[in-house]
A and B are shown apart, each in its own frame.
Chain A
Amino acid sequence: AQKITQTQPGMFVQEKEAVTLDCTYDTSDPSYGLFWYKQPSSGEMIFLIYQGSYDQQNATEGRYSLNFQKARKSANLVISASQLGDSAMYFCAMREGRIGNQFYFGTGTSLTVIP
């Protein structure tokens, strides 16, 4: 079974509007961490935001926030006030609690911001 599912291969958003990128995950480990990364066309992977499974509040980092719904096993990324520079691939990732564990990545969502 897929550990991380991103069902939106491509998304479009108007500049200055908000957009939500979906991510659902699958784990039986009670301790896990969820991460979002941005990959612009230049190829580097940029870490955006982290949410721990025991965190009570949704994570926020500037214009990025994570809508964490534990019961639904979803960790959607919300980008507010989209900018042209937000056009990129976005990947959701998960780390389970076991030592030395790998990061599981989703297939990514390509976001295009329209002027």
Chain B
Amino acid sequence: DVKVTQSSRYLVKRTGEKVFLECVQDMDHENMFWYRQDPGLGLRLIYFSYDVKMKEKGDIPEGYSVSREKKERFSLILESASTNQTSMYLCASRTGGMNTEAFFGQGTRLTVV
């Protein structure tokens, strides 16, 4: 069974903390994505990676960085968390084919206080 696992379902962090969100997939997918979901705004892409150590900025990369040292793991880093980064974060992975869907993790609800 296909699986994308995010390390935490809920997180509460303080302003200014460095925050790591981890995502692991077991499907040997080349592509991995981090989205942020806010009401009325849909899913907005933060970063994606199409190979180990490769990354590309999405639509809203400011305040975030990523790391992909191994194919199965894609980490999202908030260098200095701020209250406007309070959101639901979704990780996804997919193969490179045109018609293949993305598989999503269960999401991490991050609250920055």
Contact = CB atoms under 8 A, between A and B. Distances in A.
Interface of A: 4, 6, 9, 31-33, 35, 43-45, 47, 50, 52, 91, 93, 95, 97, 99-100, 102-108
A91 B42 contact: yes
B79 to A, nearest CB: 22
Q: Chain B contact residues: over half helix, strand or loop, or mixed?
A: strand
Nearest to B94: A103
A38 B3 CA distance: 17
A43 B92 contact: no
Nearest to B30: A100
Given A33-B99, A44-B104, A103 B33 contact: yes
Contact of B98 (A93, A95, A102): A95
Contacts, number: 62
B58 A102 contact: yes
Interface of B: 30-31, 33, 35, 40-45, 48, 50-51, 54, 56, 58, 88, 90, 92, 94, 96, 98-99, 101-104, 106-107
Given A33-B99, A107-B40, A43 B35 contact: no
Given A43-B106, A47-B101, A50-B101, A100 B42 contact: no
